[in-house]
């Protein structure tokens, strides 16, 4: 199987079976962001306790890139400290610049590496991560 095909499968799996989709009943930090160029919208919720992201959920709608990225991000960020979450978001920015970064801790994210070749889609992929950064900045 070609790497591109594998990556496409990973992206479509997260799009069709999103992880952590939904809302918390209470006690969560909520960040709403949208990407007008594509029409993607996300409402990210983070439960942060003692400087650690205990849990994350999201709702929203948009293209497969934006929604799969949100699914991956919410999965990868659980259990991280605020600093670790910001480091993860920085690493994702590097990935979008085409830099050779690895996500040994959550390999699915690497499926989005091809997006850097399509500048118009980078905003789709980074939407959830920008929401994460905004939330973490409020906590730090
Ligand atoms: Zn999009």
> pLDDT digits over 106-115, tens only?
999 999 999 9
User: Could you tell me the distance, in angstroms and rounded to a whole number, from the CA of residue 49 to the centre of ligand 1?
Assistant: 31
| Residue 26: predicted pLDDT | 87
**Rounded CA Rg of the chain:** 14
| Residue 1: predicted pLDDT | 62
User: Could you tell me the distance, in angstroms and rounded to a whole number, from the CA of residue 34 to the centre of ligand 1?
Assistant: 10
Percent of the chain as helix, strand, coil, to the nearest 5:
55, 20, 25
Structure tokens at 60: 């929203």
User: Could you tell me the distance, in angstroms and rounded to a whole number, from the CA of residue 103 to the centre of ligand 1?
Assistant: 22
Alpha helix (H) residue ranges in the chain: 3-16, 64-77, 82-96, 119-139
Q: Is 65 exposed, middle or buried (0-12, 13-18, 19+ CB in 10 A)?
A: buried
């Amino acid at each position: 199987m070609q790497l591109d095909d594998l990556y496409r499968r990973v992206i479509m799996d997260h799009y069709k079976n999103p992880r952590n989709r939904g809302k918390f009943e209470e006690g969560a930090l909520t960040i709403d962001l949208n990407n007008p160029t594509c029409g993607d919208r996300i409402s990210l919720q983070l439960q942060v306790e003692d400087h650690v992201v205990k849990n994350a959920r999201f709702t929203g709608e948009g293209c497969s890139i934006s929604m799969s990225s949100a699914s991956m991000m919410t999965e990868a960020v659980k259990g991280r400290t605020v600093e670790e979450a910001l480091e993860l978001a920085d690493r994702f920015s590097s990935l979008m610049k085409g830099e050779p970064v690895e996500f040994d801790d959550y390999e699915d994210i690497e499926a989005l590496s091809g997006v850097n070749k399509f500048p118009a889609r980078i905003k789709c992929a980074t939407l959830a991560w920008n929401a994460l950064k905004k939330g973490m900045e409020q906590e730090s």
